Structure 1
Amino acid sequence: MRGEADRVHATAIAIGDRGVLIRGLSGSGKSDLALRCLACGPSALLRDPVKLVADDQVILKSDWSHGAPRLCATAPQTLRGKIEVRGVGILEVAVRDAVDIVLIADIAREGSIERYPDPWPTVVLCGVRVPAIRLLPFESSAPLKIFAALDMARLPRIEVKE
């Protein structure tokens, strides 16, 4: 459905002009993973700066104004620029007002994660199909896995769900 919008319990980060939606249950490590991504500097896996889009609540809206379907993420105004750090409090951080979500990172609580997903699973949000990965949020490599997934040439093209 064109122009469809939804408010979801998630965290969104922008890596350059590409967005990642981090989804998981309350207390599963979404904000912690986003905070560790924000702290990463340039490297072979990360060429663009990381900024927060929204923590805890993300407004998603489908957009077809540029021909190809896009899933745009923004923050509710009251949460803009704020991230919850358990044991510390609410921090204010650099933000990006909006970003197109090109990857979903679903938090796995435990258990195995497929080694070589082929094809990658996809998720449909607001009528737009987006590739997804699953990861354990507290692994030290979790932020790097997000950065690597964004750069993988085999990420499927985002498409409209008919």
Structure 2
Amino acid sequence: MEDKDPVLLHGSCVSWMNRGLLILGASGSGKSTLALQLMAYGARLVGDDRIWVARRGDLLIATCPPSICGRIEARGVGILAAEALPEAPLALAVDLDRSEPDRLPDHRKLDLLGIGLPLVLGQGRGHLAPVLLQYLTAGRADGAGA
């Protein structure tokens, strides 16, 4: 399939074991806070607040606009410096605006540039950081996103 023009999203992105996590949500939903929590576990920042997503073959690649690269907002503290990766192949997305109604949800996907990216609905989940790291590490036991 022909590659499509990249899209600029309001979101953050970190990478864990070379597997990118796209964090989506409205302003104030906790995107930067979740990224900082994941970074405390060892994830690497790709970008905060704005993320370019491009399609390369069957992969979605996340990059940060150069003007904000290496910066992450800590609400109530300020803008913090962080060593940022230049890009990451996306493996998972989390939507902090939507809560998951099901205990064991169906496989959810986010369609980006013609590719279905596994999606977790994460609003209101306090334990989300370690859950997402385990998902990125080993996928779902039922085979989704492994």
Q: TM-score, normalised by structure 2?
A: 0.89
Q: CA shift at 1:137, angstroms?
A: 5.5
- For residue 8 of structure 1, what is the aligned residue in structure 2? 9
1:121-150 Cα shifts (integer Å, max 9, x gaps):
1011122111100113661x1101111222
Q: Are 2:98 and 1:97 equivalent residues in the alignment?
A: no
- For residue 83 of structure 1, what is the aligned residue in structure 2? 72
SS at match of 1:72: strand
Q: CA shift at 1:32, angstroms?
A: 0.4
SS at match of 1:71: strand
Q: CA shift at 1:98, angstroms?
A: 0.3
Query: Which of residues 112, 120, 136 is equivalent to 1:125?
Result: 112
Q: CA shift at 1:117, angstroms?
A: 1.4
Aligned length: 142
Mind listing any 5+ residue stretches in structure 2 that lack a counterpart?
none
| Deviates further, 1-10 or 97-106 | 1-10
| Deviates further, 69-78 or 91-100 | 91-100
SS at match of 1:114: coil
User: 2:100, 2:123 within 8 Å by CA — same for their partners in 1?
Assistant: no
CA RMSD of aligned residues (A): 1.7
- For residue 40 of structure 2, what is the aligned residue in structure 1? 39
Amino acid aligned to 2:54: K
Tell me: CA distance 1:156–1:96, structure 2 relative to 1, closer, same or farther (3 Å). same
Amino acid aligned to 1:114: D
SS at match of 1:21: strand
Percent sequence identity is 30
Mind listing any 5+ residue stretches in structure 1 that lack a counterpart?
41-48, 158-162
